[in-house]
Amino acid sequence: MIPKSSTGAEEVVWDLSDLYASHDDPKIEIDLKETDKRAEQLAREYRGRIDSITPQELLKLLKDYENILDLAGRISTFACLYWSTNTEDPARGALLQKITERSSLLKQKLLFLELEWAKAPDEKAKELINHPDLIPFRHWLELIRRYRPHLLTEPEEKILAEKAVTGSSAWGRFFEEVLSAARYELDGQSLPQQSVLSKLYDPDRSLRGRAAESFSNGLETIKRTTTYIFNNILADKSSDDRLRTYSNWISARNLDNQIDDSTVNALIRAVTSRYEIVSRYYQLKRRLLKLPELYDYDRYAPLPAADRTYSWIEAEKIVLSSYNKFHSRMGEIASMFFEKRWLDAAVRPGKRGGAYSHGGVPSSHPYIFMNYEGTPRDVMTLAHELGHGIHQFLSREQGLLQADTPLTTAETASVFGEMLVFGNLMDSEENPQVRLSMLVQKIEDTFATVFRQISMNRFEDAIHSARRSEGELTSERFGELWMETQRAMFGPSVTLTDNYSTWWSYIPHFIHTPGYVYAYTFGELLVLALYARYQQVGRVFSDLYLNMLKAGGSDWPEKLVEPLGVNLTDPKFWDNGLKLIEDLVNQAEDMVEN
């Protein structure tokens, strides 16, 4: 076992020189001017012509459009990544703001393309979509047409793009800087968010309780600020939805996710109707910990056999061996992130919390961001983000417009990667107590991805609805709605302390991507189905899976997974996934009894 303060990840810092040398690299300004020049030329050549364009002209237009977005994306990727590792550096913040503003102006110059295409006559659009020369862009062309009822005029769209820079985008950056700068006093130390939250996974119950109180106290000190940020984000979303005539707060997100409102509602009903699985499990967890009562800060307490840490080298070997075992090409790609320094894992002051994989652009490659402290959960996070990275790397061949998947399937590769690591660790472990501790952790991770995300969706639904009907919300009102939706999930199995009522205020998805969270649930249930299929058919599944990743967002989600033997249109799909989760709990109960 290694000390938690030394994992070997302290020097794991990414190399962004594939993009730019630094924030003052003169090539940034050169490339900004080049994107503007190309965008203006594109507009001069094609504005007003989309409804009469030939297939060959549209093909050239889309290729030129992709090239402009690729170059602009390189700049935006660098600015975002560079800032996220030190949000307290004014120079990095200034660059990010500059690029945000220039990106808005570029978007305005190119708006005509999507607007004219969306409004082109149906017969003309059908002819172009079905033309063989345009197969590489077919799905993107189909998707843009779906936004037709919600698009405004070009002058109006330009105004919205311009004001977003000082609206939702600005509030999002401010939120990250407030949370990154916050410090939490614990046992005489002033800790950043990531470090204090990691203590909730400590075997020492007293430390967990102190860490939870420390985090709550810290959130309390910035509550006035975060409450104001949340209110403005909610109001901004309400305004956008009204202007674009979306029927409710989540309809725009569902459209982006290529899923209809009724399917999302069916998913939510299915999960909330099985909240008793959560209650059953945490009653078992209380027994395993030998506690008279389970508090919110006890949820992630490890079983004694799980109390260990992993060095960065150990984590690398575990994850790479799991990917290699599944498919050599996936192991090869995953290795590149380590060898070529596409990873940033060191915990350091000013670095934002959490983890993500940034897909970059097709002319570059993805980058992975995380804060590694050596816990078993950090190993799974590494597996998760590498799954994203492999997916993003492979899908580049679809081109910029069709590389990205909707959020509903964006989590597929990441969660599947976690399953691969978990399966291999379980297969190689002989100690029944260690196997139980591993199963317990997997159940809790699955709950966090399925049940917790839907409970947060219920919170989002409540705050968006309340903001629209009640006006500006108080911190106490946010806390009340948070506790209601959390208690509904836990039932009597977990006692939520009063301190827990402020914990809504640090979750970034509510700010950056309203409506995002249910996509995690969708992805987890999809992966459970895919993994079960893999266990049934064996090696033949691996190539089919790789082909799905390569396809990126080039087709509808249900068509992409169909070759793997999964039917997303089956009304029983959600119930089948939830039954697999229940089976994990049954397995844990059996291991305890036996």
pLDDT digits (tens, 9 = 90+) for 544-573: 999 999 999 999 999 999 999 888 888 788
pLDDT of residue 326 exceeding 70:
yes
Question: CA separation (Å) from 43 to 145, 287, 323?
Answer: 20, 67, 45
pLDDT score of 345: 96
Residue type, 106: L
pLDDT score of 3: 40
**Strand partners of residue 358:** 367
pLDDT of residue 59 exceeding 90:
yes
Let me know: does 440 contact 303? Beta carbons within 8 Å. yes
pLDDT score of 1: 33
Let me know: does 448 contact 300? Beta carbons within 8 Å. no
Per-residue pLDDT, averaged over 463-483, amounts to 98
Q: Considering the chain, what percentage of its residues have pLDDT values greater than 90?
A: 82
Per-residue pLDDT, averaged over 363-389, amounts to 94
Q: Considering the chain, what percentage of its residues have pLDDT values greater than 70?
A: 99
Greater pLDDT, 1 or 98: 98
- Domain residue ranges in the chain: 26-166, 187-301+449-512, 310-430+518-577
Residues 6+ apart with CB under 8 A from 423: 322, 531
pTM, two decimal places: 0.86
Average per-residue pLDDT in the chain? 93
pLDDT score of 307: 66
CATH number for the domain formed by residue range(s) 26-166: 1.20.140.70
Task: Tell me the per-residue pLDDT of 331-363, one tens digit each, with 9 for 90 and over.
Answer: 999 999 999 999 999 999 889 888 999 999 999
- 571: number of Cβ within 10 Å: 10
Residue type, 20: Y
Greater pLDDT, 537 or 274: 274
Q: Give the Cα separation of 216 and 391 in Å (integer).
A: 36
pLDDT of residue 31 exceeding 90:
yes
Confidence of residue 306 (pLDDT cuts 50, 70, 90): low
Per-residue pLDDT, averaged over 408-433, amounts to 88
Confidence of residue 51 (pLDDT cuts 50, 70, 90): confident
Confidence of residue 50 (pLDDT cuts 50, 70, 90): very high
Structure tokens at 38: 């190309």
Residues 6+ apart with CB under 8 A from 271: 450, 451, 454, 521, 574, 578
Task: Tell me the per-residue pLDDT of 256-295, one tens digit each, with 9 for 90 and over.
Answer: 999 888 889 999 999 999 999 999 999 999 999 999 999 9
Radius of gyration (Cα) for the chain, nearest Å? 24
Residue among 71, 29, 31, 68 nearest 46 (CA): 68
Question: Between β-strands 189-191 and 184-186, what pairing exists: parallel, antiparallel or unpaired?
Answer: antiparallel
Task: Tell me the per-residue pLDDT of 107-134, one tens digit each, with 9 for 90 and over.
Answer: 999 999 999 999 999 999 999 999 999 9
pLDDT score of 287: 94
pLDDT score of 353: 86
CATH 3.40.309.10 fits 187-301+449-512, yes or no: no
One fold for 187-301+449-512 and 310-430+518-577? yes
In CATH, what class is 310-430+518-577? mainly alpha
pLDDT of residue 138 exceeding 60:
yes
pLDDT of residue 4 exceeding 60:
no
